[in-house]
Structure 1
Amino acid sequence: MLKALKNIFKKGEEPTTPPTATPTVPERQRATDGQAPRDKTPRPPRDDTRTSRPPRAARSEQPKPQAPEADKPRRERPPRKPKAPVASWNLEDFKVEPVEGKTRFHDFPLAPELMHAIHDLGFTYCTPIQAQVLGHTLKGKDAIGRAQTGTGKTAAFLVSTITQLLQTPPPKERYMGEPRALIIAPTRELVVQIAKDAEDLTKYTGLNVMSFVGGMDFDKQLKGLEKRFCDILVATPGRLLDFHQRGEVHLDMVEVMVLDEADRMLDMGFIPQVRQIIRQTPFKGERQTLLFSATFTDDVMNLASQWTVDPAIVEIEPENVASETVEQHVYAVASKDKYKLLYNLVTQNDWSRVMVFANRKDEVRRIEERLTRDGVSAAQMSGDVPQHKRIKVLEGFREGKIRVLVATDVAGRGIHIDGISHVINFTLPEVPDDYVHRIGRTGRAGASGTSISFAGEDDAFALPPIEALIGRKIQCEMPPDELLKPVPRKH
């Protein structure tokens, strides 16, 4: 029977010289976590004549018979995303005067298409972390950055990544699911935000940005991958592994890899998944690796030593950076009066964009339901909210249609929205670092903001560790009587 099948497949074939076999991806020797130092010589150009990649894994349970790889035609390359018109704009339209002590984006060798997007976003001078990170990464060095949210780190690694991709032409032969840059982040909200920022910065470059997150339709994300090449892929670890294990994404073309909020990935138990992903990328000496974390713990630095080569270490702000730009208050209030205090603060002061944090998902749900019932436009953000609804909620909050966004720490960590005037800690966090991240939703990038924390009988013990972390005492006040008035009944 086996001989008969072989004869059937060979029937009608012209005798050819067997092609030189190329090792399949699993057969290639992959990088281990500890590797030889990077060769400092410039990277050689990629071989654009390499043979086709082995076929993707079949999506059905029963794989279909596959023709020999050498006989399979290469997928036709679709046209790249067209660049947005740039004829009406040139760099002379983007004038930023030199200022002593400040670094302009003009001071770096950035492509005109990228500068056009930076101009549209209203960026003029680099933030401190942008200036220092770009000074190293644009020269091809790996980098480790300690940065809180709101300091501009996302733009720092995106500008660097986009510049690398524009300077190095893509191979002529390439599969759709072969990203050239990979950005891994711990939460769905952060992935969506990074991808949005990347879309804004690449709109004149022709580069394609894609995002993979759990909680959204897998087939819909797959269809997007099959329509166009993926230049920059932003993903959560779990969903990226889903795509890779099904053979839809291959990571051996990654030129730049970014790990954002490495400390949070440690806390959430994602590091084993991240290790699996990194082993599928080129050797650490053949890719540029950027790692960012809010804290430089021993665990974070150990990971950085395994995944980078001679990295530049950038530390700009102290860990309590948010506390210097945010006015902080603590109200001593009984647990039964917390909701009255929240309602009166929002309505009496007519606040329009407020973020409220609670420790548990059930607390978040109850607060949001009570605010909505009492006539305050509110929405919740927690792990129970489907991803498509999260995106809709964030857009409504960003546009001012939602006044109050109630969130847990995991859901709120990746939310970067300008104009949040107040952050309210309905319950104080059990982890002091989370307090810094919470109040960092306001007072972003040097702007001023206000945080108000409710210290009840159950969570007042959390205040001393927070004060120790930020290095200052927060005065505890009694709320004025007018802020404890009963909530009016809605008829």
Structure 2
Amino acid sequence: MHLALHWPPNFLINDEKTVLKALKKIFGKDPAEQPGMQAIETPSNMGEEKQPDRFESASRAKSSAASKPRRASKPSAPPAPAWKLEDFVVEPAEGKTRFHDFKLAPELMHAIQDLGFPYCTPIQAQVLGFTLKGRDAIGRAQTGTGKTAAFLISTITQLLETPPPKERYMGEPRALIIAPTRELVVQIAKDALGLAKYTGLNVMSFVGGMDFDKQLKQLESRYCDILVATPGRLLDFNQRGDVHLDMVEVMVLDEADRMLDMGFIPQVRQIIRQTPPKSERQTLLFSATFTDDVMNLARQWTTDPAIVEIEAQNVASETVEQHVYAVAGSDKYKLLYNLIEQNDWTRVMVFANRKDEVRRIEERLTRDGISAVQMSGDVPQHKRIRALEGFREGKIRVMVATDVAGRGIHVDGISHVINFTLPEVPDDYVHRIGRTGRAGASGTSISFAGEDDAFALPAIEALLGRKISCETPPAELLTPVPRKH
């Protein structure tokens, strides 16, 4: 039988599938499959090539696969068991506070276990005791005491316990952390990512000196839960209308004393005016010193804050062996070179007071065969991050830095800190030597006291509450630096 169906030119088919279904009932199968029957031409398929049916394609693929020799299938790996709080066992210890002693979300406890934190540091134990209950807090602590984890754990807990609003814009962070330097912002953001990795919270960081558009794209791609930023770059985004601060539930000001020193307080005031009133947000403020200016700011920006103090001198003196060499200014570089080279030190941090000093020291060390990098305000941000990573990975032996650039540098395993010039501000001395002897490890600091900076030593000793004996360097440490050919 040869049957062709042609539709009249004025015949419109509204439901092609219905017609095909009816014809199937008549013939018992697809009309196109009847011997000698032509495919039905409808307005929707006229002039088109017939596409292979997806089931037909699958059948062909299956047939082709069947003709090939079959490999023994590997048993699929069983799914990893879900993490439970019972997996994180920390025995109670006298005089120590466990993270288990606080009511923290399992996702957060999982991250804390991954990071290897069984017990709280003193400032963590004290701060969390107040902030987890919703109180504002002012903390006095140097870097290296664990204060960053203290305010991050508190912030993450607040965001997990309070569901986000149903309506929010991409550029509306729920927690805002302001820090004075780019390095400190990058470090805080890195720590936040580590603690929030199982929570689903998004962490972003804004710093000057890096690609503006790249930072803007991440803001446009997803919601922002925790934003870490330097004041200037945050204001750039805010004034352009890309970031709105009206939903901030937690605000953290880190190193308030350094922000005062660097002249950032007018910018910080502008930022805080964009956030909800202090009665409607939790505010945490941290500073290495409690000057009158810092306490005045704290009173303006917090409500009935708990005050937590960790004495800086205890942190400095207990874990760091301190030495001072009396040396002429002209011999300082020889002493530095010989200390590093003769002792084969591999991870050393050198501090100087001025950017030109930092540049000169780094250039001389590099010329004399010791791998070194500099960290100062003159170095572009992308180079500073690359230098920090090289130092952290052990590819660079020496990092030379100013105090401003040295803030926020957290690198494990720094064996020695050398003060090429003594700082004019005693607190900076404690901060510098705190780069070594971190997390309970021992470290060594060596300071060069020359004719131009020895006057700073008495004020440093007064802060520490003890004398530091001055030594004359051994003759072998003052031998001329060999010239590299």
Report the TM range for the smaller structure's normalisation: 0.7 to 0.9
Match of 2:75 in 1: none
Match of 1:483 in 2: 477
Superposed CA deviations along residues 347-400 of structure 1, whole A, max 9, x for unmatched, are: 111111100001111111111111111111110000011111111111111111
Q: What is the CA–CA distance in structure 2 between the aligned matches of 1:334 and 1:415, rounded to whole Å?
A: 29
Superposed CA deviations along residues 25-67 of structure 1, whole A, max 9, x for unmatched, are: xxxxxxxxxxxxxxxxxxxxxxxxxxxxxxxxxxxxxxxxxxx
Q: What is the CA–CA distance in structure 1 between the aligned matches of 2:236 and 2:80, rounded to whole Å?
A: 38
The answer (yes or no) to whether the contact 2:278–2:301 under 8 Å persists in 1 is yes
Q: Given the superposition, is the C-alpha separation of residues 86 and 382 from structure 1 closer, same or farther in structure 2, using an over 3 Å criterion?
A: farther
Match of 1:456 in 2: 450
Q: What amino acid does structure 2 have at the position aligned with 1:100?
A: E
Q: What is the CA–CA distance in structure 1 between the aligned matches of 2:316 and 2:436, rounded to whole Å?
A: 8
Q: What is the CA–CA distance in structure 2 between the aligned matches of 1:419 and 1:196, rounded to whole Å?
A: 18
Task: Report deviation, 1:463.
Answer: 1.3
Q: What is the CA–CA distance in structure 1 between the aligned matches of 2:147 and 2:192, rounded to whole Å?
A: 13
Whether 2:236 is the aligned partner of 1:237: answer no
Q: What is the CA–CA distance in structure 1 between the aligned matches of 2:119 and 2:445, rounded to whole Å?
A: 28
Q: Given the superposition, is the C-alpha separation of residues 86 and 178 from structure 1 closer, same or farther in structure 2, using an over 3 Å criterion?
A: farther
Superposed CA deviations along residues 106-144 of structure 1, whole A, max 9, x for unmatched, are: 111111111111011000000010011111101101011
Whether 2:424 is the aligned partner of 1:424: answer no
- What percentage of residue pairs aligned between the two structures are identical? 89
Q: What amino acid does structure 1 have at the position aligned with 2:212?
A: F
Task: Report deviation, 1:180.
Answer: 0.1
What secondary structure does 1:285 align onto? helix
Q: What is the CA–CA distance in structure 1 between the aligned matches of 2:409 and 2:80, rounded to whole Å?
A: 32
Q: What is the CA–CA distance in structure 2 between the aligned matches of 1:298 and 1:324, rounded to whole Å?
A: 28
**Residues 65-80 of structure 1: matches in 2 within 5 Å?**
none
The answer (yes or no) to whether the contact 1:332–1:479 under 8 Å persists in 2 is yes
Task: Report deviation, 1:220.
Answer: 1.1
Task: Report deviation, 1:467.
Answer: 1.4
Whether 2:113 is the aligned partner of 1:129: answer no
Match of 1:380 in 2: 374
Equivalent in 387, 391, 394 of residue 397 of structure 1: 391
Whether 2:106 is the aligned partner of 1:112: answer yes
| Residues paired across the two proteins, number | 407
Q: Given the superposition, is the C-alpha separation of residues 318 and 86 from structure 1 closer, same or farther in structure 2, using an over 3 Å criterion?
A: farther
Match of 1:260 in 2: 254
Superposed CA deviations along residues 184-221 of structure 1, whole A, max 9, x for unmatched, are: 00111100000000010111111000001111111111
Between stretches 86-95 and 300-309, larger displacement belongs to: 86-95
Q: What is the CA–CA distance in structure 2 between the aligned matches of 1:86 and 1:242, rounded to whole Å?
A: 45
Q: What is the CA–CA distance in structure 2 between the aligned matches of 1:303 and 1:472, rounded to whole Å?
A: 31
Gaps of 5+ in 2: 1-78
Q: What is the CA–CA distance in structure 1 between the aligned matches of 2:334 and 2:437, rounded to whole Å?
A: 25
Between stretches 313-322 and 162-171, larger displacement belongs to: 313-322
What secondary structure does 2:323 align onto? strand
Match of 1:323 in 2: 317
Q: TM-score, length-normalised on structure 2?
A: 0.82
Q: What is the CA–CA distance in structure 2 between the aligned matches of 1:303 and 1:395, rounded to whole Å?
A: 35
Whether 2:167 is the aligned partner of 1:173: answer yes
Tell which structure's C-alpha radius of gyration is larger. Answer: 2
The answer (yes or no) to whether the contact 1:320–1:469 under 8 Å persists in 2 is no
**Residues 96-111 of structure 1: matches in 2 within 5 Å?**
96-111=90-105
Match of 2:136 in 1: 142
The answer (yes or no) to whether the contact 1:425–1:452 under 8 Å persists in 2 is yes
Q: What amino acid does structure 2 have at the position aligned with 1:321?
A: V
What secondary structure does 1:436 align onto? helix
Task: Report deviation, 1:317.
Answer: 2.3
Task: Report deviation, 1:330.
Answer: 0.7
What secondary structure does 2:427 align onto? helix
Q: What is the CA–CA distance in structure 2 between the aligned matches of 1:355 and 1:316, rounded to whole Å?
A: 24
Match of 1:363 in 2: 357
The answer (yes or no) to whether the contact 2:312–2:430 under 8 Å persists in 1 is no
The answer (yes or no) to whether the contact 1:177–1:229 under 8 Å persists in 2 is yes
Task: Report deviation, 1:87.
Answer: 4.4
Whether 2:176 is the aligned partner of 1:182: answer yes
What secondary structure does 2:237 align onto? helix
Q: What is the CA–CA distance in structure 1 between the aligned matches of 2:291 and 2:359, rounded to whole Å?
A: 34
Superposed CA deviations along residues 64-84 of structure 1, whole A, max 9, x for unmatched, are: xxxxxxxxxxxxxxxxxxxxx
Q: What is the CA–CA distance in structure 1 between the aligned matches of 2:288 and 2:427, rounded to whole Å?
A: 9
Match of 2:68 in 1: none
The answer (yes or no) to whether the contact 1:358–1:425 under 8 Å persists in 2 is yes
Q: What is the CA–CA distance in structure 1 between the aligned matches of 2:465 and 2:93, rounded to whole Å?
A: 33
The answer (yes or no) to whether the contact 1:148–1:319 under 8 Å persists in 2 is no
The answer (yes or no) to whether the contact 1:146–1:295 under 8 Å persists in 2 is yes
What secondary structure does 1:149 align onto? coil
What secondary structure does 1:279 align onto? helix
Q: TM-score, length-normalised on structure 1?
A: 0.81
Match of 2:201 in 1: 207
What secondary structure does 1:427 align onto? coil
What secondary structure does 2:279 align onto? coil
Task: Report deviation, 1:485.
Answer: 1.2
Match of 2:65 in 1: none
Match of 2:154 in 1: 160
The answer (yes or no) to whether the contact 1:294–1:319 under 8 Å persists in 2 is no
Q: What is the CA–CA distance in structure 2 between the aligned matches of 1:395 and 1:117, rounded to whole Å?
A: 23
Between stretches 465-474 and 421-430, larger displacement belongs to: 465-474
Q: What is the CA–CA distance in structure 2 between the aligned matches of 1:262 and 1:324, rounded to whole Å?
A: 25
Match of 1:301 in 2: 295
Task: Report deviation, 1:89.
Answer: 2.0
Q: What is the CA–CA distance in structure 2 between the aligned matches of 1:290 and 1:350, rounded to whole Å?
A: 43
The answer (yes or no) to whether the contact 2:145–2:315 under 8 Å persists in 1 is no
Task: Report deviation, 1:86.
Answer: 7.8
Q: What is the CA–CA distance in structure 1 between the aligned matches of 2:313 and 2:382, rounded to whole Å?
A: 33
Q: What is the CA–CA distance in structure 2 between the aligned matches of 1:413 and 1:259, rounded to whole Å?
A: 15
Q: What is the CA–CA distance in structure 2 between the aligned matches of 1:109 and 1:147, rounded to whole Å?
A: 24
Q: What is the CA–CA distance in structure 2 between the aligned matches of 1:315 and 1:430, rounded to whole Å?
A: 24
Q: What amino acid does structure 1 have at the position aligned with 2:329?
A: S
The answer (yes or no) to whether the contact 1:353–1:400 under 8 Å persists in 2 is yes
Q: What is the CA–CA distance in structure 1 between the aligned matches of 2:456 and 2:126, rounded to whole Å?
A: 35
Q: What is the CA–CA distance in structure 1 between the aligned matches of 2:80 and 2:331, rounded to whole Å?
A: 57
Taking only aligned residues, the RMSD between alpha carbons, in angstroms, comes to 1.2
Task: Report deviation, 1:326.
Answer: 1.1
Higher share of residues assigned helix: 2
Q: What amino acid does structure 1 have at the position aligned with 2:225?
A: D
Q: What is the CA–CA distance in structure 1 between the aligned matches of 2:404 and 2:238, rounded to whole Å?
A: 25
The answer (yes or no) to whether the contact 1:381–1:405 under 8 Å persists in 2 is yes
Superposed CA deviations along residues 150-200 of structure 1, whole A, max 9, x for unmatched, are: 110000000000000011111122111000000000111100000000010
Task: Report deviation, 1:322.
Answer: 1.1
What secondary structure does 1:394 align onto? helix
Gaps of 5+ in 1: 1-84
